[in-house]
């Protein structure tokens, strides 16, 4: 029996169970790229691996989900649907895999059930394995996804968020697994994933947990997902395999850095030495490695600011996927030197409020502690930061009773969460679900919610499933909202993107409208353009070759550079606005906000022929009546009167006489005045007349 995407989940799970070999999931295209290269790998590079992966003997390729979804819209300008389709198309014999964050799916907030179902269904045709975790291990949060995936005939892979602490016992995980199997109706058609997202499970610990799970559920097929942060990934994976784990998460050797996954060849070699057979076709694996070695150099600038394993992860538990991005944020925010303190803070914080540091928990932990440490640093420098962390440490060591503290220490501790984010507040009120090891101590609530904390708990804290309480989204309304924003009917794909990430999706669609599908471009050109006159790029669209050659870049004049390109042998001049001018004009012509009645927009492209009507020219401070002609735009012999939408006073005139304006450009800003009887002076509403 072999594994194949065309087979049913039950058949594939049975095949795994009866196979003595160990299988692998290659996380290179998704999680490794996220953990070590900030998700910047281009589809252009990654998709070249598909035909090689297709014949490498992997169980699955994780090519979808997690933060790559958002990053694709935000910075890669790659359509998650197109990406998913391309993989399915080029890799028909190996399973494609995604990662979903239970109710957060591929985003950073809880979606209502109808959005979850719609989004899952939209990707079902292209994704074979659906790994789903919940950062609270709250199984009811997974239900809509489990149902849709199962109904769609795809393989559901529930994951237990794994951590190392006094609370994370075998008994706890057996309990969570029991709940999961209750939901899935047994072990027949699922794979259970142990999700070690920070990379903290020691070889012995993982072997023990695997053993405990298999003792209780001998038919369970287990997969071990493990990041490499602590430096112990290879032996831990080997120990897991020896204990009976069927599938291991690895990546291609040239993809390995520090926070992603273990190198496939090393793991395979160690397993072979231990007498464990694997499913891999080594020459094909090496071919893929060769391909990656050829392009990985493009991504150096996106690797982490901090490079090297960090055994300290066992205390601060920052997951591999968040590690480099946190350092990036700290670097951009100018507080990189505070990172060691933030990590120490996280190590303490996870003993006050207990959950798993993985999306969205990892973001809550990060923003909370980056905020606390920066606040105290600004207040009293490193001294105050160190005092705070010492106090926290002592407090934990001394048995955690605030009553034992001195008054001034109490004040500091009770002020710890005083600037809590809404996300942290929501977490403490059960809006993500009940916390896995119970609610935190009262002093935490007092710190977060202030004096009225008891009332807050009594009134707003819920134990029940938050998803069940969340009302469905009005999809139709959101579709119209998107249509208004992009000024055309959105496709079903675009709607799903919008439901996940409204802002990023709209920006992405606008980018596409302006620049097309740039994922066809070679990575070097995508990152840096064409470098010197005469250099050219050849790429295909719909199988047709195109050649774009740089002829010249002009000198910057008035903030504009003229770039001359030969586009398929035809010369074109592209004026490109440089940042200096962009900054001066604050991002292009200012457009009127249609939702603000006082912002008057130009109805068309033309020249400002007159500001005012033929009897009265207007200036700032003038009062205009509703329906009064306030600007006249001339285009192709036709004058178009722009009428005042409201009765108001002119606060700003945003254009000059004879200035060329484009449609929707802001002409004037009016401040509404109280209504008055305008009938005496009502003018014709008909705007246009011939000149």
Partner 1 sequence: MPDFQPKTIQKLFIANRGEIACRTIRTCWEIGIRTVVGYSDCDALSYHVKLSDEAVHLGPSPAMLSYMDIGKVVDAARKTGCDAVFPGYGFLSENPEFARACRDAGLIFIGPTSEVIARMGDKIATKKALADAGVPIIPGLPKATSAEQLIAFGNDAGWPIMIKAVAGGGGRGMHRLDSADQAGAALERAVSASRKLFGSDEVYAEKYIRGARHIEFQFIADAYGGVIHLGDRECSIQRRHQKLVEEAPSSLLDDRLRNEMGRVVVKAAKEIGYVTAGTLEFLVAPDLRYYAIEVNPRIQVEHTVTEMIVGLDIIRMMIRMAVGTPLRFRQEEIRIGGHAIQCRVNAEDPRNDFAPSYGTVTYLRQVSGPFVRADSGILQGSEIPPFYDSLISKICSVGKDRPTAIERMRRALSEFNIWGVKTTIPLLKKIMVHPDFVSGRFDTDFIDEHLDELLDYVEDEDEILKISRFIAEITALGKNPYCR
Q: Whose Cβ is closer to partner 1: residue 164's or residue 563's?
A: 563
* Residue 202: CB minimum distance to partner 1, A: 38
Please tell me the distance from the alpha carbon of residue 153 to that of residue 135, in angstroms, as a whole number: 26
Is the separation of the CB atoms in 3 and 23 below 8 Å?
A: yes
- CA 174 to each of CA 126, 141, 166, 604: distance values in angstroms, whole numbers, following the listed order: 32, 18, 15, 66
Measured between alpha carbons, how far is 437 from 171 in angstroms, rounded to an integer? 13
| Tokens at 295, concatenated | 């392009």
Q: Which is nearer to partner 1, 340 or 529 (CB)?
A: 529
361/354 Cα distance (integer angstroms): 10
Closer residue to partner 1 in complex, CB, 44/224: 44
Q: How far is the CB of 32 from partner 1 (least distance, A)?
A: 18
Nearer to partner 1 among residue 77 and residue 84 (C-beta): 77
Q: Which is closer to partner 1, CB of 120 or CB of 509?
A: 509
Shortest distance, CB of residue 639 to partner 1, whole angstroms? 12
If the CB atoms of residues 240 and 565 are measured against partner 1, the closer one turns out to be 565
If phi over 0 gives left and psi between -120 and 50 gives alpha, with beta otherwise, what is residue 373? alpha
**Contact between residue 639 and residue 588 where contact means Cβ atoms under 8 Å apart:** no
Q: Is the CB of residue 30 less than 8 Å from the CB of residue 249? A: no
| Alpha helices (H) along 128-232 | 143-151, 170-184, 203-216
Contact set with partner 1 (CB under 8 A): 40, 75-77, 488-489, 511, 513-518, 520-521, 525-531, 537, 541, 546, 548, 550, 553, 561, 563, 565, 567-568, 570, 572-574, 576, 578-579, 603-607, 634-638, 640, 663, 689-690
Tell the smallest beta-carbon distance from residue 212 to partner 1 (Å): 45
Smaller CB separation from partner 1, 229 or 519: 519
Sheet containing 560-567: give its strands across. 536-541, 544-553, 560-567, 570-577
Please, what sign has the CA dihedral across residues 103, 108, 110, 115?
A: negative
d(C-alpha 505, C-alpha 13), whole Å: 36
> How far is CA 339 from its chain centroid?
22
Our CB check for partner 1 shows the closer of 384 and 483 to be 483
Report in angstroms how near the CB of residue 314 gets to partner 1 at its nearest: 33
CB of 636 to partner 1, least distance (A): 4
CA 564, distance to chain mean position in Å, is 36
Q: How far apart are the first and last CA of the chain?
A: 81
Q: Least Å distance between CB 654 and partner 1?
A: 19
Min dist. Cβ of residue 339 to partner 1 (A):
21
At its nearest, how many Å lie between partner 1 and the CB of residue 527?
5
Answer for the pair 624, 670: CB distance below 8 angstroms, yes or no: yes
> Quick one: 265 or 561, whose CB is closer to partner 1?
561
- Give the chain's count of helices (H) and strands (E): 27, 21
């Amino acid at each position: 029996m072999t594994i194949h995407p065309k087979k049913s989940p039950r058949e594939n799970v049975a095949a795994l169970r009866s196979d003595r070999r160990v299988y692998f999931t290659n996380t290179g295209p998704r999680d490794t790229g996220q953990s070590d290269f900030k998700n910047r790998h281009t589809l252009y590079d990654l998709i070249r691996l598909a035909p090689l992966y297709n014949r490498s003997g992997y169980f699955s390729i994780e090519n979808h989900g997690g933060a790559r979804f958002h990053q694709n819209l935000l910075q890669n300008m790659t359509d998650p649907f197109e990406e998913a389709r391309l993989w399915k198309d080029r890799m028909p014999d190996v399973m494609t895999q995604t990662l979903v964050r239970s109710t957060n799916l591929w985003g950073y907030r809880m979606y209502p059930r109808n959005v979850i179902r719609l989004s899952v269904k939209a990707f079902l045709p292209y994704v074979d394995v659906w790994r789903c975790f919940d950062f609270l291990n709250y199984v009811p949060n997974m239900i809509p996804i489990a149902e849709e995936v199962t109904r769609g005939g795809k393989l559901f892979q529930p994951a237990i968020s794994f951590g190392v602490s006094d609370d994370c016992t075998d008994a706890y995980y057996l309990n969570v697994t029991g709940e999961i199997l209750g939901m899935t109706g047994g072990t027949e058609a699922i794979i259970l994933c142990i999700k070690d997202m920070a990379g903290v499970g020691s070889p012995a610990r993982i072997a023990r947990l695997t053993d405990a799970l298999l003792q209780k559920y001998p038919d369970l097929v287990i997969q071990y997902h493990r990041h490499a942060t602590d430096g112990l990934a290879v032996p831990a994976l080997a120990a897991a395999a020896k204990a009976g784990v069927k599938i291991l998460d690895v990546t291609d050797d040239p993809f390995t850095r520090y926070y992603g996954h273990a190198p496939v060849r090393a793991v395979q070699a160690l397993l072979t030495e231990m007498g464990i057979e694997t499913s891999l076709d080594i020459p094909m694996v090496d071919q893929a490695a060769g391909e990656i070695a050829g392009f990985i150099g493009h991504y150096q600038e996106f690797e982490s600011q901090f490079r090297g394993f960090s055994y300290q992860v066992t205390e601060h538990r920052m997951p591999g996927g968040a590690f480099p991005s946190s350092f990036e944020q700290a670097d951009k925010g100018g507080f990189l030197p505070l990172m060691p303190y933030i990590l120490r803070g996280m190590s303490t914080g996870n003993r006050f409020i207990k959950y798993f540091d993985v999306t969205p928990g990892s973001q809550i932990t990060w923003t909370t502690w980056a905020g606390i440490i920066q606040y105290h640093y600004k207040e009293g420098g490193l001294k105050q930061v160190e005092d705070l962390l010492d106090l926290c440490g002592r407090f934990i060591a001394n048995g955690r009773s605030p009553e034992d503290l001195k008054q001034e220490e109490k004040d500091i501790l009770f002020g710890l969460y005083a600037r809590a984010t809404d996300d942290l507040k929501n977490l403490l009120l059960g809006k993500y679900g009940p916390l896995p090891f119970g609610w935190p101590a009262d002093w935490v609530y007092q710190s977060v919610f202030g004096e009225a904390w008891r009332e807050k708990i009594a009134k707003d804290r819920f134990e029940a499933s938050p998803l069940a309480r969340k009302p469905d989204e009005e999809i139709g309304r959101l579709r119209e909202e998107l249509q208004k924003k992009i000024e055309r009917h959105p496709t079903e794909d675009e709607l799903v993107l919008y439901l996940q990430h409204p802002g990023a999706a709209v920006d992405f669609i606008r980018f596409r409208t302006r620049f097309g599908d740039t994922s066809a471009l070679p990575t070097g050109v995508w990152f840096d353009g064409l470098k010197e006159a005469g250099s050219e790029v050849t790429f295909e669209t719909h199988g047709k070759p195109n050649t774009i050659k740089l002829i010249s870049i002009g000198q910057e004049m008035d903030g504009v550079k003229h770039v001359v390109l030969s586009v398929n042998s035809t010369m074109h001049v592209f004026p490109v606005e440089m940042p200096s001018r962009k900054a001066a004009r604050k991002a292009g012509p200012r457009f009127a906000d249609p939702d603000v009645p006082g912002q008057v927009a130009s109805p068309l492209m033309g020249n400002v022929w007159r500001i005012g009507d033929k009897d009265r020219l207007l200036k700032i401070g003038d009062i205009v009546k509703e329906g009064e002609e306030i600007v006249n735009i001339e285009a192709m012999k036709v004058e178009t009167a722009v009428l005042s939408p409201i009765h108001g006073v002119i606060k700003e005139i945003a254009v000059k006489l004879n200035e060329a304006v484009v449609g929707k450009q802001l002409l004037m800003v009016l401040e509404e005045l109280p209504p008055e009887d305008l009938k005496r002076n009502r003018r014709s509403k008909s705007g246009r007349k011939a000149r």
